Amino acid sequence: MTSKLIERELGSELLIYEAEQDTVFVLNPTSRLIFQLYREKRTPKEIEREIRKRFHVKRDEKVLFAVKDCLEQLRDKGLIEGDE
C-alpha cells in the first residue's frame, strides 16, 4: 500500500497520513526510529543494535523480537513493504 504517505513530526513522535485509505498513524519515538531505519534499508539486527545504543538497553532485553514485531505491525498497516 505505501503509495502516498505524508509525514509530520509531533515532538518526538511521527504522524503519518496514509491518503489512499484516509488513515492517520502516530508512531512513538521507538517505532519512529524502527520505521526510519527500515526505510534506510537496515536489517532487523542492525535496527536492534541502533536501539540498544540510542536507548541504552540492557543485553538481557528482547529487543530483536520487539523490532520484528514492530516491523510486522507496520507492514500490516501498509506503512512499509517487503520482508524482514
pLDDT at 20: 86
Sheet with 5-10, strands from edge to edge, namely 5-10, 13-18, 23-27
Q: Is 68 helix (H, G, I), strand (E, B) or coil?
A: helix
Residues 31-42: tens digit of each pLDDT = 999 999 999 999
> What whole-number distance in Å separates Cα of residue 10 and Cα of residue 61?
28
**Domain limits, the chain:** 5-76
pLDDT tens sequence across 11-24: 999 999 998 889 99
- How do residues 39-64 score in pLDDT, each as one tens digit? 999 999 999 999 999 999 988 889 99
Query: Rounded to whole angstroms, how far apart are CA atoms 29 and 19?
Result: 22
Whole-model pTM: value is: 0.88
Cα dist from 49 to 10, 56, 82, whole Å: 25, 10, 21
